[in-house]
Amino acid sequence: MGHKFDELRQAMVDSQVRTTDVTDLRVIDALLSVPREAFVPDQRKPFAYIDDDIEVTGPMADTRRFVMKPSPFAKLVQLADVRAGDLVLDVGCGTGYSSAVLSRLANAVIALESDSELSDRATDLLLENGFDNVAVVTGPLTEGYAAEGPYDVIFVGGSVDAVPEALFDQLKDGGRLVVVEGQGLSGFATFYLKEGDYVSGRKAFNLSVKALPGFARKPEFSL
Where in the chain are the domains?
2-206
Write down the pTM of the prediction. Answer: 0.94
Q: Which CATH class is domain 2-206?
A: alpha beta
pLDDT in tens, the chain (223 residues): 556 999 999 999 999 999 999 999 999 999 999 999 999 999 999 999 999 999 998 766 678 899 999 999 999 999 999 999 999 999 999 999 999 999 999 999 999 999 999 999 999 999 999 999 999 999 999 999 999 999 999 999 999 999 999 999 999 999 999 999 998 878 999 999 999 999 999 999 999 999 999 887 766 555 5
For residue 220, what pLDDT is reported?
58
Q: What is the pLDDT of residue 222?
A: 53
Side-chain half-sphere of 146: how many Cα atoms within 13 Å? 8
